A and B are shown apart, each in its own frame.
Chain A
Amino acid sequence: MDEKKGPGDEKYICRCEEVTEAEIRDAIRAGARSVVEIKRWTRAGMGICQGRSCRRLVERILAEELKLKPEEIEISSFRQPVRPVSIKAMDE
């Protein structure tokens, strides 16, 4: 298929932090091996939705790049608060 690469061809994976598929594949090719490592490398999954939209997409790209089965992908770590909480709320 003709694969022209214009701005409209950019495939975003993490919408909150605006991380593209190309950036995630680059991170894996440079050595990232898990959702957590990709998170730290690219910020994918560190935005306001905390990876609820992109976690599965990142897992799929990892499986593809590393030729792993989906169940072999290490589960992302979660830390509290799992939702954004304003500092003001925590101040109480």
Chain B
Amino acid sequence: MRNDEKPAIVVGAGPAGLCAAIELKKAGAPVVLMDENAKPGGQLFKQIHKFFGSQEHKAGIRGFDIGKELLAESLRLGIDVRLKTEVVGIELGLKVWAVEDRTKSYTLDAGKLILATGATENALSFPGWTLPGVMTAGCAQTLINVHRVLPGKRILMVGSGNVGVIVAYQLMQAGAQVAAVIEALPRLGGYGVHTAKVRRAGVPFYCSTTIIRAEGAESVERAVIASIDAKFQPIPGTEQILDVDTICLAVGLTPSIELSCLAECKQIYIPELGGNMPAHDEYMRSSNQSVYVVGDIAGVEEASTAMEEGRLAGIHAAWAMGYMDDQTMKIKTDETRGRLQALRQGIFGQKRFAAKERILAMRKDA
């Protein structure tokens, strides 16, 4: 590192941020990786299921093992990882405002900024949703897989997408009963292999169904569900009462765009990938040429794609900072894009691939 040089700052040490920092450091570029949590890894350490994809995408490996590998690599490379550090502001000209341990506030100039801030789980409001016992599916997953605490004994899962069925299954593995999985759409949303495991265990799935209310004196004791019509309105007379103590919401994720808005990155709306998000080019660069966006903030996908997006940005940022020659950058980014494309296949992948292509096309028009 040259003495007066501004480092690349990576915000978020999940799969995307870790991979970006690793690529930068491998190229010899100065890099600082910040994360609000006490431990890096993002959501990887709660993923106890095996990943899909091909060999080179770590298919068949469980999420937390991928997390351990990335951590070991970042330690080996000696990356400056700053934990319990929240990035609370960004000023143009690229100054990052960080707060360490909630007590120490400082700013740091960044040569390049890579935002890997992830996504936030969506809420669903219904009477009683503020009762203890209503939580997002990701919260339940953190409780069982990270803290080893069972949130309840009988669960209603709202949402049949991948998060819903994977967490439903893991809750059963942890010892809870799943009373039902409900889905507002007329068809199920998750991967067949995960859905089938839950169904085979005898859990009923109800499509075109929503939750009407949660009831209970001090915490959730019952959930009232009902069928809905094509306009998503409850059909009178179809109500069913489920005796549950926990209601998990798995109703999608929204990219955490706050910092990208402060960095004046142009936002676009892509419903398949979570709503509003910063637009990006084929190197994951936002409309602000010094700022890259990778992982769920750039469209909600999976850890495997997040890692490749992180690598793409890390490689390109290292090149832009003068730590990689043109040819190496081209070879490496082409390889990474090839792996990304391979990950975006199949019925679920194709939809995401098409959405990502739309993002790139929009950038060219802009």
Contacts and interface: CB of A to CB of B under 8 A. Distances in A.
Contact of B215 (A8, A21, A57): A8
Interface string A78-92: 111111011011101
Interface bin, chain A: 20 to 34
Nearest to A79: B262
A64 B91 CA distance: 35
Contacts of A40: none
Contacts of A52: 120, 256
Contacts, number: 84
A78 B88 contact: no
A82 B262 contact: yes
Nearest to A13: B125
A82 B125 CA distance: 24
B130 interface: yes
B287 interface: no
Contacts of A1: 226, 234, 236, 239
A48 interface: no
B89 A80 contact: yes
B123 A82 contact: no
30 contacts: A1-B239, A8-B128, A9-B127, A11-B125, A12-B125, A12-B129, A12-B130, A15-B130, A21-B125, A50-B258, A54-B123, A55-B254, A57-B123, A57-B125, A70-B271, A70-B275, A77-B261, A78-B258, A79-B262, A80-B91, A82-B259, A82-B262, A85-B88, A85-B99, A86-B102, A86-B103, A89-B102, A89-B103, A92-B103, A92-B105
Interface of B: 86, 88-91, 97, 99, 102-106, 120, 122-123, 125-130, 213, 215, 226, 234, 236, 239, 254, 256-259, 261-262, 267, 269, 271, 275-276
